[in-house]
Amino acid sequence: MSHVHLPPVYHHPDARRDDRGDRPPSPPHDPGRGTETEREEGVAVAERPKTRRPTMYRVLLHNDDYTTMEFVVEILVRHFDKTPTEATRVMLQVHHLGVGVAGTYTRDEAETRIARVTGEAQGAGYPLLLTMEPE
C-alpha cells in the first residue's frame, strides 16, 4: 500500500484554528442575518427607498372688518387645537398684522381644515378668509 503525499497547508499566523481540524473557525451565527450561503440562496431583498417627508403647509387666517374676534378664537380652539391663550395670541396677530398662522399641516390636512372652517364661517355669516402656503 502506498501513501499519498499531500502538499503542506500553510496558515497565516493570526488565523485561529478550531477543534475541528485545520479550518479557521466560522464566524458566529447571527439568527437575524443568516449565513452568507443562506443569504445568497434566499429571497432577494430590494433596497427600500428613503421616505421623503411630505411638504408642509401653513394655514393662514386673514383679517377682515366683519368676522368677530371671539369667532376667530373659537375657530382656532375647535379646528386648530389651540388653547384659548394661544388662540387669542394668533387672533391678535391677525388683527394687528393682517395675517396669522393657524397651524402647519400636510397639504390634504390643510385643505380639509380650510374647507371646514370656511364652511362654518359662511354658515355664521362671516367672510373669514383662510389660505395656505408651503412652509
Q: Please provide the average confidence, as pLDDT, over all residues in the chain.
A: 83
Total tally of structural domains belonging to the chain? 1
Please check whether residue 103 is in contact with residue 78, taking contact to mean a CB–CB distance below 8 angstroms. Answer: no
Q: Is residue 18 part of a domain?
A: no
Q: Is residue 91 part of a domain?
A: yes
CA 62 remoteness from chain centre:
30
Q: Is residue 129 part of a domain?
A: yes
Q: Is residue 49 part of a domain?
A: no
CATH of the domain at 109: 3.30.1390.10
Q: Is residue 30 part of a domain?
A: no
pLDDT of 45-59, one tens digit each? 778 888 889 999 999
pLDDT beyond 70 at 67: yes
- Supply the pTM of this predicted model: 0.64
Q: Is residue 48 part of a domain?
A: no
Please check whether residue 72 is in contact with residue 120, taking contact to mean a CB–CB distance below 8 angstroms. Answer: no
As beta bridge partners, residue 130 has 61
Q: Is residue 61 part of a domain?
A: yes
pLDDT of 5-23, one tens digit each? 555 555 555 555 545 555 5
Domain with 128 in it: 56-134
Q: If we measure between CA atoms, which residue out of 132, 72, 130 comes closest to residue 106?
A: 132
Q: Is residue 51 part of a domain?
A: no
